[in-house]
Copies of this chain bind each other. A is one copy, B any other.
Amino acid sequence: MDLQKINEFAIKLIYDAGEQIRESFSKELIIETKTDANDLVTNIDCQIEQFFVKKIKELDPSHKIMGEEGLGDKIVTLDGPIWIIDPIDGTMNFIKQHRNFMITVGFFVDGVGKLGYLYDVMRNELIYAIRGEGAYIDHHPIRKLEPLTIEEAIIGINSSWVIQNGKINHEKIANLIRTVRGTRSYGSAAMEIALVVTGKLDAYLSMRLAPWDIGGGMVIAQEVGAVATNLKGEPFNLLSNDTFLIANPSIHQKLLDEFIELK
């Protein structure tokens, strides 16, 4: 399998998709509600995922596709080559802000991440990685993350996990917030992961993400030295939803040990 060639294919696909999304802002959006009001879907999500599915199947019909909109394949095993795609991560931002959303794509073979992409459509900023060959931002190499202390860290966390909730001990999260230098919340997991792998945030955690939220980011994380696991410190389960923590390697274990207590 020629990873360099697949990488070139993926980069072109993502830039093309970004162009389609930017053009869509001049057209009317047809918005329907999915399972709840917090999970909005627009016709452009489906259009972009359909575009990825079509092009990937043209490249190689044996490649399987797992996408947020469910237009690809039904994935029950990680065997073989699988694309994991979120055509628009941060749909609410997409609709309301016309910014702060991402295209994210991961390419896995037998469960091992080979290629990863995080594309900030409105900034036209592409982060990508090839397993074992480093990570790049707009084609410039990204440096390995430098160590820091918890007290110096800026952490991405949604306020839903800061108030009392059924998933995590919120008193320990309150201690975390009192300990770190600051927190941020952007409303796009892929964007927060992109900020962590480039050292603009030092960690990001969530109680519930899907494989397509983090697949691309996991490959990039490995190349810059960021540690990405679930909140038990185990590998994220790519066949279901899971908890998630990505962090600078100098604080990942300390975050798990001192501030995370799942219910």
A residues contacting B by CB (< 8 A) are 37-38, 92, 96-99, 123, 151, 154, 157-160, 162-164, 173-174, 177-178, 181-187, 195, 199-200
19 A-B pairs whose Cβ atoms sit less than 8 Å apart in the complex: A38-B181, A38-B182, A96-B154, A96-B199, A96-B200, A97-B195, A98-B200, A99-B200, A159-B159, A159-B177, A159-B183, A159-B185, A160-B183, A162-B162, A163-B174, A163-B178, A182-B187, A184-B185, A185-B185
Q: Give every chain B residue within 8 A of A184 (Cβ-Cβ).
A: 185-187
- Which one of B99, B162, B195, B200 contacts A163 once the chains associate, using CB atoms below 8 Å? B162
10 closest Cβ contacts across the A-B interface? Answer: A163-B174, A97-B200, A185-B185, A159-B183, A162-B162, A159-B177, A159-B162, A163-B177, A184-B185, A184-B187
Q: Is the CB of B185 within 8 A of A160?
A: no
Q: Is the CB of A92 within 8 A of B186?
A: no
- Which one of B38, B181, B195 contacts A92 once the chains associate, using CB atoms below 8 Å? B181
Q: Is the CB of B159 within 8 A of A37?
A: no
Rounded to whole Å, the gap between the CB of A34 and the closest CB of chain B is 14
Number of copies: 2
Closest to A155 in B: B159
Rounded to whole Å, the gap between the CB of A201 and the closest CB of chain B is 8
Q: Give every chain B residue within 8 A of A185 (Cβ-Cβ).
A: 159, 183-185
With A174-B163, A200-B97 in contact, is A158–B183 under 8 Å at CB?
yes
Q: Give every chain B residue within 8 A of A187 (Cβ-Cβ).
A: 154, 182, 184
Q: Give every chain B residue within 8 A of A164 (Cβ-Cβ).
A: 174
Q: Give every chain B residue within 8 A of A158 (Cβ-Cβ).
A: 183
Q: Is the CB of A181 within 8 A of B97?
A: no
Q: Is the CB of B177 within 8 A of A160?
A: yes
With A38-B182, A184-B186, A186-B184 in contact, is A92–B154 under 8 Å at CB?
yes
Closest to A99 in B: B200
Closest to A174 in B: B163
> In the bound complex, how far is the Cα of B187 from the Cα of A242, in angstroms?
28
> In the bound complex, how far is the Cα of B159 from the Cα of A183, in angstroms?
7
> In the bound complex, how far is the Cα of B240 from the Cα of A44, in angstroms?
47
Q: Is the CB of A157 within 8 A of B159?
A: yes
Rounded to whole Å, the gap between the CB of A198 and the closest CB of chain B is 9
A92-B154, A160-B183, A182-B187 are known; give 11 further A-B pairs, CB within 8 A. A96-B154, A96-B200, A98-B200, A99-B200, A159-B159, A159-B162, A159-B183, A162-B177, A163-B177, A164-B174, A183-B185
